[in-house]
């Protein structure tokens, strides 16, 4: 008589229902099941329609900011309808409810932005219309190419590519990691990090659970990537110190260099005319140099930049 297999804990994993979010949930499930030797059906994927996916004709900053990506998942997690939630880390607001915590960050994928419609910033046609709803992308583009015109461009990857195909813009930006997860890397041209600084937390899948759920927290610890966590916590510490919001044009690049972390950050005015930068090198978990970098940037913030960062007020 064959012994019945041991039943694995059944976890309900909440996710936005966009194709990219579902791909991230599938990756999370695969890593968690592999780590614990579970069958795939040990984890149920629970799609949730996020507010940010419902309103696509206005910039995110005008209709509630990054919380529109997390509000429904937070509610379901708080009510116990799901056990954990998966997020694109760059879409999670800096200040989170104390009831939840990040129990795992998956290994960071490509953190670069990809340009769709041109092979480089220099190759964008003179006076081109560039579609993006991200203040960082818009201001950084205008800083390098003030001749371009920026128009609001929202929606999932397929929606934005369709808008580009329809001629609503000549060029747009997409996260290289998102394109890779969807098997569409070929449509974009990744931008070199010396020229173009990505968003804080870009390329990282974050998994949250209830802070008082010790059992789920312990299960997720098996897939937490320590180097990614160190980078993410530093980047989020910088954003918190700057007082940045979804309106704030800020770009951050934090990379592991041996036993140290190296951070480069830039703040912009929305029109791209003003730009300040700074760097810091520090040990993982030591955020004092990160706070010092934020203080230095805020001290040097120009009149066009300062109003967009609460730390400067």
Give all domains of the chain, ordered by start, each with its CATH number: 11-106+205-224 (3.40.190.10), 113-190 (3.40.190.10), 236-312 (3.30.160.40)
Q: What is the Cβ-side half-sphere exposure of residue 136, based on CA atoms within 13 angstroms?
A: 22
Model confidence at 313: pLDDT above 80: no
Q: What tokens does 279 get?
A: 């760097």
Q: What is the pTM of this model?
A: 0.88
Q: Which sequence positions are flagged as catalytic?
A: 91
Beta pairing partners, 190 = 114
Pairwise pLDDT comparison (142 vs 154), residue with the higher score: 142
pLDDT at position 95 is 86
Tokens 């910088």 locate to 238
Measured distance CA(156)–CA(116) in Å, rounded: 14
Pairwise pLDDT comparison (57 vs 47), residue with the higher score: 47
């Amino acid at each position: 008589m064959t012994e019945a297999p041991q039943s694995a804990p059944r976890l309900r994993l909440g996710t936005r229902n966009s194709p990219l979010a579902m791909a991230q949930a599938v990756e999370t499930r695969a890593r968690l099941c592999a780590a614990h030797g579970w069958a795939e059906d040990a984890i149920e994927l629970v799609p949730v329609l996020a507010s940010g996916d419902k309103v696509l004709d206005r910039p995110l900053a005008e209709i509630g900011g990054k919380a529109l990506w997390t509000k429904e998942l937070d509610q379901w997690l708080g009510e116990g309808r799901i056990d954990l939630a998966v997020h694109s880390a760059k879409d999670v607001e800096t200040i989170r409810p104390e009831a939840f915590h990040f129990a795992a960050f998956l290994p960071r994928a490509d953190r670069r932005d990809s340009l769709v419609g041109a092979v480089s910033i220099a190759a964008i046609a003179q006076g081109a219309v560039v579609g993006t709803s991200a203040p960082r992308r818009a201001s950084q583009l205008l800083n390098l190419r003030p001749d371009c015109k920026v128009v609001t461009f929202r929606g999932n990857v397929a929606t934005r590519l369709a808008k580009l195909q329809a001629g609503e813009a000549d060029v747009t930006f997409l996260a290289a990691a998102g394109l890779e997860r969807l098997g569409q890397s070929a449509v974009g041209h990744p931008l070199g990090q010396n020229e173009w600084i990505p968003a804080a937390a870009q390329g990282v899948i974050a998994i949250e659970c209830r802070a008082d759920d010790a059992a789920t927290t312990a299960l997720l610890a098996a897939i937490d990537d320590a180097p990614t966590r160190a980078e993410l916590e530093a980047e989020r510490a910088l954003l918190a110190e700057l007082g940045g919001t979804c309106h704030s044009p800020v770009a951050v690049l934090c990379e592991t260099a041996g036993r140290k972390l190296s951070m480069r950050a830039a703040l912009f005015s929305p029109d791209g005319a003003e730009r300040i930068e700074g760097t810091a090198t520090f040990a993982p978990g030591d955020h004092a140099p990160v706070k010092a970098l934020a203080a230095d940037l805020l001290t040097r913030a120009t009149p066009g930049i300062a109003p967009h960062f609460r730390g400067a007020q």
